[in-house]
Copies of this chain bind each other. A is one copy, B any other.
Amino acid sequence: MSTLKKALADNAKAVGGVLDELLVIGDGPESRVVEAMRYTALSGGKRIRPFMVTASAKLFNVDVDAALRVAAAVEFIHCYSLIHDDLPAMDNDDLRRGKPTCHIQFDEATAILAGDALLTKAFEVLADEATHGNSAIRVELITALAKASGDAGMVGGQMLDLYAEDHALQMPEITRLQRMKTGALIAVSCEMGAILGHASEKACHALHAYAHDVGLAFQIADDLLDVEGDEKEVGKKTGKDAAAGKATFVSLLGLERAREQAELLVDQAASHLDIFEEKANLLKDLAHFVVHRNT
Contacts and interface: CB of A to CB of B under 8 A. Distances in A.
Contacts of A247: none
Interface in A127-159: 127-129, 135-136, 138-139, 142-143, 146-147, 149-152, 155-159
25 contacts: A28-B160, A28-B176, A30-B151, A30-B159, A33-B159, A37-B151, A89-B108, A89-B109, A89-B112, A90-B112, A110-B162, A116-B155, A117-B151, A117-B156, A124-B142, A124-B143, A124-B146, A124-B150, A127-B139, A127-B142, A127-B143, A127-B146, A129-B139, A135-B135, A138-B139
A13 B107 CA distance: 39
A230 to B, nearest CB: 28
DSSP class of A's interface residues: helix, strand, loop or mixed? helix
Report which residue of A34, A108, A110, A120 has the largest number of chain B beta carbons within 10 angstroms of its beta carbon: A120
A205 interface: no
A180 interface: yes
Question: How many identical subunits does the complex contain?
Answer: 2
A159 B32 contact: yes
Interface residues of A, number: 54
Nearest to A25: B151
A112 B112 contact: yes
Nearest to A107: B89
